Amino acid sequence: MARLTLTWLVLLGPMAAPAQQDLQFKEAGVCARCHVISVVEWGMSRHRTANTDCIACHGASAGHVDDERNNIKPERMPQGEAIAALCAGCHTAGCPKTRQKAACQTCHHFHALVDPKAPPAVPDQSLARSRPAPATRSPKPPPRITVAGVTLVLIPGGEFDMGSERFPTSRPVHTVRVEPFYLAATEVTQAQWTAIMGSNPNAHKGDQFPVEKVSFEDAQAFLARLNSKVPGGGFRLPAEAEWEFAAADAQPVAGGTAPQPAGSGPPNKFGLHEMLGNVWEWCSGSYLPYPSQSGDSALGVLRGGGFVDPPDLLHAAFRHSERPTRRLRYNGLRLARSADPR
């Protein structure tokens, strides 16, 4: 269903687009009769706005569309390094992320210029010539408030597809509605923890580093003390769905032997730092299988991955669980607050 929706988006999306893109979509619509996924990939990538369409790579391929038995092949079917040569047409300096100039498909699929879940950190200047002019008005940053020294970002809420088919424990992908809420821009730091709890559990000390070695029960104790000190505080842990919704578009923080200072990584589209990597973040509620999440579990939920984990686990949909009493040196927390605390 999701694929179908995306196809319609690709096919119907350009109604208000410039004439050239309109033409591109018309041609792609013909290709999409058979090559649905390829066109969806293309439509979701920056190829769409970079004057690169099906014909640019595969040629006009006269007769290919009409031949139902597929006897007439496309004019060009670039393979291997021939694809890299096509990429180099725009990306003269190589991959914007890795500077790699060969074997582009090892990271990108054939028709996707950018992995939507891991966009390049550095904009590719060589693309400027073919890009449409940027919008004159930048999007309005999400509203922020500061309560008791904690910067909270208003996450607007909405419906999204929670989970991932990639991980057994994140299946099935299911649609969830999240109400607007506040989430801290960074993980709780050691300075914040010490100010409330009077002690620092970390082995790796540093005021601006995230607090680690925190069990779920420790986190609850911290929240209770914080809320007792801040009138109307309403601080809590984010629900799993809230956390995953807010982690959209986040870039992983590189791992290593210790975490990075809180807030040192690039923000995601909501302005949240280190959603993926650094330390695992406790969520409220119990760890229960998707989608109903009914039943009872003695385990708490952790999200976001830690500095000890391999990059493939630093994924917005990856779920981990732990006993509420266990303190591991890469488990921390991030504060949340309801938009309308009652």
Question: Which spans of this chain sit near other proteins (rule: CB under 8 A)?
Answer: 166-169, 299, 308-310, 312-313, 318-323, 326, 328-329
The residue (of 32 and 301) whose beta carbon lies closer to other proteins is 301
Are the CB atoms for 170 and 318 separated by under 8 Å?
Answer: yes
Alpha carbon distance 104, 110 (integer Å): 8
- 300-303 and 319-322 beta bridge pairing: antiparallel
Nearest to 282 by CA among 230, 224, 243: 243
**What's the closest the beta carbon of residue 321 comes to other proteins, in angstroms?**
7
Are the CB atoms for 209 and 257 separated by under 8 Å?
Answer: no
Alpha-carbon distance values, 291 to 105, 110, 123, 158, 237 (Å): 34, 33, 38, 18, 21
Amino acid identity, position 309 = D
The residue (of 53 and 309) whose beta carbon lies closer to other proteins is 309
Alpha carbon distance 298, 187 (integer Å): 24
Q: In the block, which residue shows the tokens 């984990």?
A: 309
Amino acid identity, position 6 = L
The residue (of 216 and 270) whose beta carbon lies closer to other proteins is 216
**What's the closest the beta carbon of residue 310 comes to other proteins, in angstroms?**
4
Alpha carbon distance 257, 242 (integer Å): 29
The residue (of 58 and 329) whose beta carbon lies closer to other proteins is 329
**What's the closest the beta carbon of residue 333 comes to other proteins, in angstroms?**
17
The residue (of 269 and 323) whose beta carbon lies closer to other proteins is 323
**What's the closest the beta carbon of residue 169 comes to other proteins, in angstroms?**
5
The residue (of 156 and 324) whose beta carbon lies closer to other proteins is 324
Q: Which two tokens stand for residue 339?
A: 């938009």
The residue (of 84 and 314) whose beta carbon lies closer to other proteins is 314
The residue (of 166 and 229) whose beta carbon lies closer to other proteins is 166
Sign of CA pseudo-dihedral 111, 117, 122, 125: positive
Task: For 185-201, give one letter per residue: b (16+ CB within 10 A) or e.
Answer: bbbbbbebbbebbeebb
**What's the closest the beta carbon of residue 247 comes to other proteins, in angstroms?**
17
Residue 135, phi then psi, degrees to nearest 5: -60, 145
**What's the closest the beta carbon of residue 68 comes to other proteins, in angstroms?**
36
Alpha carbon distance 276, 294 (integer Å): 27
